[in-house]
Amino acid sequence: EDQVTQSPEALRLQEGESSSLNCSYTVSGLRGLFWYRQDPGKGPEFLFTLYSAGEEKEKERLKATLTKKESFLHITAPKPEDSATYLCAVEGRGSTLGRLYFGRGTQLTVWP
């Protein structure tokens, strides 16, 4: 079965202190890896889709990278408004079309 593990579970950063979140996955042929940001009580907000190893995407202070076994979400010079839970999900070619496997998320807190 496809599996996703995110680490760390929680991360506290001082404003401006760059760091990375990890998403390790096991999947029978990757169809896509997705990063979402979720604020408390809100729906997940789409950030990035990655399809193949070596791919990178950037948006403001965030950069997502992908290897054959894991993805990293790099946060450069974070601000308090970046505080949220970051979810990683994968869709495998061996899975039913449209079924995403989510990790448990990394809860990021950025303090001033």
Partner 1 sequence: DTEVTQTPKHLVMGMTNKKSLKCEQHMGHRAMYWYKQKAKKPPELMFVYSYEKLSINESVPSRFSPECPNSSLLNLHLHALQPEDSALYLCASSQETSGNRETQYFGPGTRLLVL
Nearest residue to 6 via CA among 75, 73, 99, 78: 73
* Least distance CB 55 / partner 1 (angstroms): 14
**Who contacts 50 (Cβ-Cβ below 8 Å, separation ≥6)?**
32, 33, 34, 35, 57, 64, 65, 66, 71
Q: How far is the CB of 72 from partner 1 (least distance, A)?
A: 19
Minimum Å distance from CB 15 to partner 1?
Answer: 25
Nearer to partner 1, 17 or 45 (CB): 45
Place of tokens 């995407």: 57
Instruction: Return contacts of 94-99, CB within 8 angstroms, 24+ apart.
Output: 94/2, 94/27, 94/28, 94/29, 95/2, 95/27, 95/28, 95/31
Nearer to partner 1, 43 or 112 (CB): 43
User: Binding residues for partner 1, per CB under 8 A?
Assistant: 31-32, 34, 36, 41-46, 49, 87, 89, 91, 96-100, 102-105
Closer by beta carbon to partner 1, 5 or else 20: 5
Beta carbon of residue 44, minimum distance to partner 1 (angstroms, whole number): 5
Q: Which is nearer to partner 1, 49 or 76 (CB)?
A: 49
